[in-house]
Amino acid sequence: METDLKNIKEMLEEREYEILAPYATKCKESAGRKCPRVDDYPIRTEFQRDRDKILHSKSFRRLKHKTQVFLSPFNDHFRTRLTHTLEVSQIARTMARALRLNEDLVEAISLGHDLGHTPFGHCGEGILNELIPGGFFHNIQSVRVVEVLENMNLCKETVDGIFTHSWGYNPKTPEAQVVQYADKIAYINHDIEDSVRAGIISEKDLPQDALRYFPKNQSDRLGKMISDVIESSLGNPKVTMSEECWAHLKTLREWMFQHVYLDPVTKSEEKKARNIVKSLYEYYTDKLSECCNKEDIPQLVCDYISGMSDQYAIRRYIDLFIPKPLSEDTSDEALFKRIKDEIH
């Protein structure tokens, strides 16, 4: 039985050469991890192991209470950062399977791409970007989460995909390119659906050119975008989308920024959220000045606040700044434990 178990990983690795495209990323050709490890249970490939490490991480679980677009949505049908991540993973795996790319690597990148996102969505990211010397970027923070804060020791291909999932970066693997497109396709479509549900827009309000090009049905529009990437990339080591489809997708994205992402209704509560993040940042910066090197404080505070869920950030703000009767407080034990570790 022991011999059979040892053969499973090797069998899976060899199967990749049989079914994946020649330019797909193979586990046996991985650049490896920062810290080599002994595989005591050789029943998973290295990219499968990365996926499982991310799935079982604390930062992944916290995504369920982090904002996607709408702060404190009034029902459970609106997306959160976790459901966004799962939709990206599903779309990316669909494209990867059709293109004969490495599904396990695609899934690992997809599940890890937003681990560094702040509470309160891009509003939280924006205020931290203003407060942190050098700025704050959630893709860079996601890499910091997997490499430093949770020390997952992931494969270099997975880390590269997490880092380059934002547009404007050049991924090293076709699998990471798939995730770039899957992220855009996912959020454009589910943000339209959530905005219609919230009553901010209706389907007929969308740009007419895009309405003529894409099916009006949400599912069909999603399918057309996914199919376009597949058709444009078949047999090609570079994953791409047709110029026509990409132009209409960008039109939808720009329209969404104007009418949803920057809409007064959507942003009505963001001033309060910005104040929460700013107040917490100032409080912890002042608190840590008593025990930490000045140059270390911004990163320590950034790590702590960006890891908070919306709910936890609100609870800390209430505990610290809102008068209340004697009650059980939430705890900053995790932050000060990290500070002790840094000092020693």
Average pLDDT over every residue of 152-167: 97
Q: In sequence order, what are the residues at sequence separation of 6 or more whose Cβ sits closer than 8 angstroms to the Cβ of residue 285?
A: 297, 298, 301
pLDDT at 213: 96
User: What is residue 184's predicted lDDT score, i.e. its pLDDT?
Assistant: 97
Examine the pLDDT at 258 and tell me if it is beyond 80: yes
Counting the structural domains of the chain, the total is 2
In DSSP terms, 33 is beta-bridged to 155
User: Is the domain of 207 the same as that of 278?
Assistant: no
Q: Where residue 129 sits, what CATH number does that domain have?
A: 1.10.3210.10
Nearest to 322 by CA among 291, 269, 283: 283
Whether residues 177 and 298 share a domain: the answer is no
- What is the reported pTM? 0.92
Handedness of CA 116, 120, 126, 132 (dihedral sign): negative
Q: What is the mean pLDDT of the chain?
A: 92
The predicted pLDDT at position 266 comes to 64
Residue 187 shares a structural domain with residue 334: no
| Per-residue model confidence (pLDDT) at position 69 | 86
User: What are 1-45's pLDDT values in tens digits?
Assistant: 455 776 899 999 999 999 999 999 999 999 999 998 888 788 999
Q: Are residues 297 and 248 in the same domain?
A: no
| Backbone dihedral angles phi then psi of residue 33, each to the nearest 5 degrees | -110, 165
Q: Do residues 129 and 195 both lie within one domain?
A: yes
Quote the domain boundaries for residue 109: 49-261
Could you tell me if residue 19 is inside a domain? no
Q: Is the dihedral of CA 17, 20, 22, 27 positive or negative?
A: negative
